[in-house]
């Protein structure tokens, strides 16, 4: 693997760094609050206006036709600059790769430009009250009607669902089929008659989570992504993005490890051996994740898909995130309760082993599909 950047890639980095340093907003409230979400949308639309929202997408959809390498460079510079969380991430980082792979030309032309411009805001309709980590256990139904599908059921834990305009999710279209068959991936505007979105608060005060109820909601046949009955295969492509490099690029953790190092320097007088080791380990693990990601991108560029290896990504970054924040809280000591960014980051990191498929499920996938161990 060649770990050097070409002159063109270095020029791309310089342009991205200059633009971010001149434009990144400071002090935005959480994007998971109604006020914060509105403020973050202004930032998202500024990114789009200057063609930084989706750098690796084709120009006709608002991108720059940048390579995957340049996308990694942009992500690294984005987090280095301390730029805000991407409130459009469920669409841009999860749904969009699936639309590129499985969508019709009409779906791509309809969805992708509006997604990039933060006009369509997408929530993920996976979990249900009786189907959390076991995605194949979903019971929400979509029954065939003339020209479309009638949906009934409920989705829960829909991130930023209270603020979104659209939802993508799995629905059971053949209840007689086996668990993983008979599922169809549907794209649903949340202003469709019969849809009820009910937001609910979290312990940290954020209010973006929502339950979504479907009561005889009718969507057209064009709402099907990837074919009727093919929902499981299509959803696995989305979960690969969710667990892999698109949702959690290494730039996020490189920047966090650097912030942790600066915090350790500020508190050098009271630095314990345990905290010192935690800081060093955070840097080592963040750089290891970067190298692993570079290897994955090499595979993608050369036509090899990661498959089950995305579960390794998810295990690694979710556990790194917790360890990194625990070290920060150790450095802060009693002041940790008063430090907003690190304490809130720690609370969020604790959800990492749960969302995008629990780490217990990911370990089973790694054991069976990568190590070849028996199911029992």
Query: Residue 16 is encoded by which pair of tokens?
Result: 């991205």
Instruction: Tell me which residue of 343, 320, 318 sits closest to 330, measured CA to CA.
Output: 343
Instruction: Tell me which residue of 231, 227, 365 sits closest to 307, measured CA to CA.
Output: 365
Instruction: Tell me which residue of 176, 177, 178, 155 sits closest to 166, measured CA to CA.
Output: 155
**Helix pair angle (231-243, 309-332), 10° resolution:** 40
Q: Which residues contact 21 (CB under 8 A, 6 or more apart)?
A: 81
Instruction: State the DSSP code for 135.
Output: G
How far apart are the C-alpha atoms of 346 and 203, rounded to whole Å?
A: 13
Q: How far is CA 59 from the centre of its chain?
A: 23
End-to-end Cα distance, the chain: 38
How far apart are the C-alpha atoms of 355 and 132, rounded to whole Å?
A: 9
State the pairing for strand pair 148-158/195-199: unpaired
Instruction: Tell me which residue of 126, 128, 226 sits closest to 185, measured CA to CA.
Output: 226
Most distant pair of Cα atoms in the chain: their distance: 72
| Residues acting as catalytic residues | 242
How far apart are the C-alpha atoms of 54 and 116, rounded to whole Å?
A: 7
Cβ atoms of 215 and 277 within 8 Å: the answer is no
How far apart are the C-alpha atoms of 129 and 154, rounded to whole Å?
A: 8
Cβ atoms of 210 and 144 within 8 Å: the answer is no
Q: Counting Cβ atoms within 10 Å, is residue 160 exposed (0-12), middle (13-18) or buried (19+)? A: buried
Instruction: Tell me which residue of 294, 289, 282 sits closest to 312, measured CA to CA.
Output: 289
């Amino acid at each position: 693997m060649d770990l050097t950047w070409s002159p063109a890639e270095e020029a791309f980095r310089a342009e991205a760094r200059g633009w971010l340093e001149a434009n990144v907003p400071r002090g935005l409230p959480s994007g998971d609050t109604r006020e914060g979400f509105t403020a973050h949308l202004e930032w998202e639309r500024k990114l789009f206006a200057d063609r930084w929202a989706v750098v690796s997408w084709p120009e006709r959809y608002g991108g720059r036709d940048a390579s995957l390498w340049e996308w990694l460079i942009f992500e690294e510079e984005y987090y280095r600059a301390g730029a805000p969380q991407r409130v459009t991430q469920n669409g841009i980082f999860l749904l969009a790769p699936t639309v590129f792979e499985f969508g019709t030309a009409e779906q791509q032309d309809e969805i992708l430009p509006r997604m990039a411009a933060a006009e369509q805001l997408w929530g993920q309709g996976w979990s249900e009250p009786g189907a959390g980590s076991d995605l194949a256990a979903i019971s929400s139904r979509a029954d065939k009607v003339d020209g479309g599908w009638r949906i009934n059921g409920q989705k829960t834990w829909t991130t930023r669902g209270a603020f979104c305009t659209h939802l993508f999710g799995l629905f059971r279209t053949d209840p007689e089929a086996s668990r993983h068959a008979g599922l169809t991936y549907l794209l649903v505007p949340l202003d469709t008659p019969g849809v009820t979105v009910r937001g609910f608060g979290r312990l940290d005060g954020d209010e973006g989570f929502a339950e979504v109820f479907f009561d005889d909601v009718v969507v057209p046949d064009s709402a099907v992504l990837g074919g009727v009955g093919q929902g499981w295969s299509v959803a696995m492509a989305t979960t690969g993005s969710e667990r892999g490099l698109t949702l959690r690029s290494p730039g996020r953790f490189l920047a966090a490890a650097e912030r942790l190092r600066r915090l350790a320097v500020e508190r050098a007088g009271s630095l314990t051996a345990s905290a010192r080791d935690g800081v060093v380990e955070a840097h080592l693990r963040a750089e290891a994740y970067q190298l692993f990601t570079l290897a994955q991108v090499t595979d993608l560029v050369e036509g090899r898909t990661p498959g089950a290896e995305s579960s390794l990504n998810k295990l690694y970054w979710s556990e790194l995130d917790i360890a990194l924040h625990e070290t920060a809280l150790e450095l802060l000591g009693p002041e940790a309760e008063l430090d907003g960014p690190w304490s809130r980051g720690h609370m969020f990191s604790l959800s990492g082993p749960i969302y995008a498929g629990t780490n217990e499920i990911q370990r089973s996938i790694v054991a069976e599909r990568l190590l070849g161990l028996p199911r029992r």
